[in-house]
Structure 1
């Protein structure tokens, strides 16, 4: 990576991390505490997905990790134990960046003008990132929040449903927004093969 592209990468990571934090903050405000133990329908994953599709795994994983770190530093995270906090924030948001495994395919399909195919890869990538984040929250809910399950309901079902109620809409809304943003991007903004690993 050249010095210029390295500077661009660092700048974009900083900007997109800040944007993700702001979107997550707004999502929590607008959710009116529907999810008392944390969670909200939010489009905070959109900047992580965009970085993952533009810069590959390094962009997505770093942006997600820094979002989790920001939530800790600025006191936005709901941390009940250290391990729970690490799973629900550092790991959960970092793994969203695994959407970047499809960055090359998206770039290639965009350059070849195959709209249906690049959209499919965006959806697959967003699904994988969202699913991995969901699994982190599911495990955390199962291990650390079982006491909040309604009487008679298995803790595993409680965690499955609780986390699914905000993660499914977050995935769908984020995927749609990412598709719209990529559709509007000029070709020169597309990922270059040399930026990916």
Structure 2
């Protein structure tokens, strides 16, 4: 058990750092398109993988550390403390709720039902991404309404702004997560008992 706990902590640290590096790269590419933050990225993939491998605890902790790295290492766009918390700590921690489907993903994989586990992965990825989007949307509506074009409401501006990068990021992430799990299915089911306990 102690060995599994150590592995859990190591994977949380490694996957959080990987998510940050992926986001850092995409941020450089897309900073001119979304100047107030956000980018089309597969940075959510490590968080989703941890969520499906270890459950909610693994996903939320990885997402939180990913957001914290952005928060403290200078790549964040922080204009107000509450906005910073919503856009980074809360938004990325919510990705980990994809782990709601961790047990179903693993059970489907153990049963050899590929279509079923893929459907659960897509559902988890959608829920995690949707919750992250809501957090960004609220932040944009409250704190970035002044950037809205003349005649456009703040909520609509936030919806469009955040939706233009969140939707493609969600689709890309779901595809990559499925490809990664397909390439190493045994790694996902290795700690099925642990994932149930960490949920």
TM-score range, shorter chain: over 0.9
Q: Partner residue of 1:24?
A: 23
Q: Please state if 1:37 is matched with 2:36.
A: yes
Q: Distance in 2 between matches of 1:76 and 1:190?
A: 35
Q: Partner residue of 1:129?
A: 128
The SS at the match of 1:34 is coil
Instruction: Sort the Cα spacing of 1:31 and 1:111 in 2 relative to 1 into closer, same or farther, 3 A.
Output: same
Q: Partner residue of 1:109?
A: 108
Superposed CA deviations along residues 28-76 of structure 1, whole A, max 9, x for unmatched, are: 1111420111111111100000000000001000000000111122111
Q: Please state if 1:147 is matched with 2:146.
A: yes
TM-score by length of 1: 0.97
Deviation at 1:193, TM superposition (A): 3.0
Instruction: Sort the Cα spacing of 1:26 and 1:3 in 2 relative to 1 into closer, same or farther, 3 A.
Output: same
| Aligned residue-pair number | 196
TM-score by length of 2: 0.96
Note if contact 1:103-1:191 (Cα within 8 Å) is conserved in structure 2. no
Note if contact 2:106-2:188 (Cα within 8 Å) is conserved in structure 1. no
Note if contact 1:96-1:129 (Cα within 8 Å) is conserved in structure 2. yes
**Any gaps of 5 or more consecutive residues in structure 1?**
none
Q: Distance in 1 between matches of 2:31 and 2:83?
A: 23
